Chain A
Amino acid sequence: MKSAKRLKKSENLWGFAFILPQLTGLILFTIGPVFATFYLCFAEWDFINPPKFVGGLNFSVIFGDPVFYKSIINTFIFAGGTIPLTIIISLFLAVLTNRKISCLSIYRTAYFLPMVTSSVSIALVWYWLYAPDFGLINLMLSKIGLPELPWLADTWWARIAIIIMSVWLQMGYNYIIFISGLKNIPKIYYEAAEIDGANKFQIFFKITLPMLSPVTFFVVITLLISTFNMFNESYILTRGGPAYATYTLVMYVFFKAFQLFRMGEAAVASLVLFALVGVITMIQFRLSRRMVNYDV
């Protein structure tokens, strides 16, 4: 009895000793700061003078700022463009390469390449590709007889430019996820469908897609979260312009906090980001219970 109690005590000690470093981080660098953010929302602070309680002032400033709404709308536009395109292209590639095919490893090496490179350096490369007069993309467009496009100078083309680059960056990662998902679908389903005389399209829509739904769900969530955290691409390509057309929420927080030193207002904006990510994840989980087929 006594030794069992001692054993239990020693297990508790070991357990806390092992999680101690991460527990310290959890308290100091996440839980503490989250509460501090809640407090800062109600304070005015510019770093020089001591913080002052201002009640709901920060909220009315942020919710009265057209740029704030613009950056939220932009985030949704980026998500609406990037997520479907990335899913369609990477799923298409996965289906095409899910068979015996020559040179597969060369293709794969090429597809994965964008995801390992720093988004800052590669955004700089795209900045050059999109350049108005001598950029490669406009050169190619005029070569095939199409008009040159004002890529980063026009509000809509700048958004499209960023969407294209994000799809290009994220395609390879999601391609691997889809291909490993495809490999996990038992062969019997396909064999049965072939015996029943189903064609390729029927097989894709009736077997592959439903069986892949947990994987697709994972992909949608990770893509949504990465879109909501987008910063580097717009910062390097357009600095959020023209006319705030490519401003993202993170950029909004960044400029408010570290250029204008309005910590309270920045805290409110970052809390909205938090709420949006939370709400979307919750909706996703609700929907997934109804739509996703985990019955593999």
Chain B
Amino acid sequence: MTFNRSKLQNSLIHIVLSFVAITTVMPFYWMAVTSLKTPEDIFKMPPILFPTYFYIQNYRDVFELMPMWQGFLNSTKVTVLVTIGTLLTSSMAAYAFAKINFIWKDTLFGIFLSTLMVPGQVTLIPLYILFSKIRWTDTHLPIMVPIILLNAYGIFMIKQFMHTIPDSYIESAKIDGYNHFGIYLKIALPMCKPVLVALGTFTFIGNWNNFLGPLIFLSTESKFTLPLLISSFRDIYSVKWGLLMAASSVSIIPIIILYIFFQRFFVEGIALTGLKG
């Protein structure tokens, strides 16, 4: 009796869980299927749920109509540089706030934290004016430099982690003749690997998907990042669904592959940051 009840409960749970799983995966499936259909078959009734052929002309057209390779390269360049830069500058600042006793330390850290309250849109207009004055508009610099040079959230995350490094490690390294730079490089950074990986993954995803920045600062098509190219597809080919879905697939599939490889880091990273919040 109890055995049957728990079995029934178990299958009910599986039904609910798989229903949600299908809901989350369905849009991706439908995107891929639509992108592989001929224009006529897209509007066929009843709809074809399982294609029996692969019509790759949509993909050929996508690469022909828009500089997708260039967009891919631009996105990769911006994202990789921003991720490396952010990790470097925020881990340096975090080390200082966690392990160096310098004046105004607490006040400065408080000011850094308070920037978390400032929405990006508040600084956007003056930044646009500044960047057009120094002729940075229509280059990738405005969507890289400000992001690399300020990440209070990153500082906070790494700082929390650095506090777990015992001060005795630092003291003994000092006795061995290391200065702060040596300690940061040889002790602090290697010990912070988990938090660096987590922050790195978030920074990567966030910047790969950045849209508002490129939309405002870039105007030449050859400099566009992938989200911006996708958005122009929507403007120009508004109901050519096969083409639009092929374009979406091109930008989504690489990140899904990355995600499947690095899944563990995502989940651990979110758990790490969420609990501290």
A: residues with CB less than 8 A from B are 8, 11-12, 14-16, 18-19, 21-26, 28-34, 36-37, 40, 47, 89, 93, 96-97, 101-103, 106-114, 116-122, 124-129, 131, 134, 136, 139, 168, 171-173, 176-177, 179-181, 184, 215, 218, 221-222, 225, 228-229, 231-232, 235-236, 249-250, 253-254, 257-258, 263, 266-267, 270-271, 273-274, 277-278, 281
Contacts and interface: CB of A to CB of B under 8 A. Distances in A.
A228 B274 CA distance: 20
A120 B150 contact: no
Interface of B: 10, 13-14, 16-18, 20-21, 23-28, 30-31, 34, 42-43, 47, 88-90, 92-93, 95-97, 100-103, 105, 108, 111-112, 115, 117-130, 132, 145-146, 148-151, 155, 179-181, 184, 205, 208-209, 211-212, 215-216, 226-227, 230-231, 233-234, 239, 241, 244-245, 247-248, 251-252, 255-256, 258-260, 263, 266-267, 270-271, 274-275, 277
Contact of B184 (A18, A134, A215): A18
Nearest 5 CB-CB pairings of A with B? A15-B102, A25-B149, A25-B150, A18-B96, A36-B126
A273 B124 CA distance: 12
A19 B120 CA distance: 22
B138 to A, nearest CB: 13
A120 B21 contact: no
B93 A21 contact: yes
B275 A22 contact: no
Contacts of A11: 100-102
B211 A232 contact: yes
A131 B90 contact: no
B127 A14 contact: no
A258 to B, nearest CB: 6
B115 A176 contact: no
B212 A232 contact: yes
A122 B95 CA distance: 38
B107 to A, nearest CB: 12
B125 A93 contact: no
Given A118-B208, A131-B239, 11 more contacts: A22-B151, A26-B150, A107-B18, A117-B252, A121-B226, A122-B252, A125-B245, A127-B244, A131-B241, A181-B274, A274-B119
A145 to B, nearest CB: 15
B267 to A, nearest CB: 6
A119 B212 contact: no
B170 to A, nearest CB: 12
B196 to A, nearest CB: 16
Contacts of A101: 10, 13-14, 17
Given A114-B24, A128-B245, A119 B209 contact: yes
Given A113-B28, A116-B205, A117-B256, A184 B275 contact: yes
A21 B84 CA distance: 14
Nearest to B123: A33
A113 B256 contact: yes
A111 B21 contact: yes
A111 to B, nearest CB: 6
Nearest to A110: B21
A128 to B, nearest CB: 5
B34 to A, nearest CB: 7
Nearest to A252: B121
Given A14-B180, A15-B96, A176-B274, A250 B251 contact: no
B277 A222 contact: yes
A67 B136 CA distance: 32
B25 A96 contact: no
B150 A32 contact: no
Contacts of B129: 36, 47, 263
